[in-house]
Amino acid sequence: MAGTGEGEICLDLAQHPVNFMRGYLDDEARNAEATHGGLYHTGDVATVDERGYITFVGRTDDVFKASDYKISPFEVESVLVEHPAVLEAAVVPAPDSVRLAVPKAYIALAPGHEASDDTALSILRYAREHLAPYQRVRRIEFIELPKTISGKIRRVELRMRELEIAESPRSSKQEWWDTDFPNLRRTPPS
């Protein structure tokens, strides 16, 4: 990444970075993929502004397109966890017949909150008020998030789950869609 804009963070291998790994053990294909073009490709996407500040966007394998806009799950999740009912959130693309994919939030609820229409509506409303229209969460599912031993959320499992869900009829209480709440589009009275 040079100048301003968005791109993958890469290290110039000609500069011989200190404490850099020699490669993936017994995996030449992965080594070649990670080091092509004389750069080490970190898999992290960031933006650089005119002052040189770098802002993390997400992992290259996590960023997805919805209605031809790039969605950073990290940005959407950062807003969702500000809601008092949300303990943790993971956003993945959900197949959609109109937009090809829409942001779906898998949410672990904070203690004292339960999976209900009211909770889903409150979170969807909060997301609408704090996210750009193209980033809006269109679906919510309340679950215990799958994690690795080190505590990282296993997004790959959630993406696979979305593909399985797309092949089956919609479960009535498993997930909430923004279209379930016609009054969501209306401005609430002040």
Measured between alpha carbons, how far is 81 from 12 in angstroms, rounded to an integer?
Answer: 35
- pLDDT score recorded for residue 113: 95
pLDDT of 187 reads: 54
What pLDDT sits at residue 1?
A: 46
The predicted pLDDT at position 170 comes to 62
Q: Global pTM? A: 0.72
Please provide the DSSP assignment of the chain as one string.
--SSEEEEEEEEGGG--TT-----TT-HHHHHHHTGGGEEEEEEEEEE-TT--EEEEEETTT-EEETTEEE-HHHHHHHHTTSTTEEEEEEEEEEETTTEEEEEEEEEEPTT---SHHHHHHHHHHHHHHS-GGG---EEEE-PPPB-TTS-B-HHHHHHHHHHHHTSPPPTTT-EEGGG-GGGGSPPP-
Contact 182, 117 (CB under 8 A): no
Q: What is the per-residue pLDDT for 140?
A: 95
All domains in the chain, ordered by first residue: 5-59 (2.30.38.10), 64-185 (3.30.300.30)
Q: What is the pLDDT of residue 111?
A: 95
- The ranges of the chain with pLDDT < 70 are 1-3, 58, 60-61, 169-173, 186-190
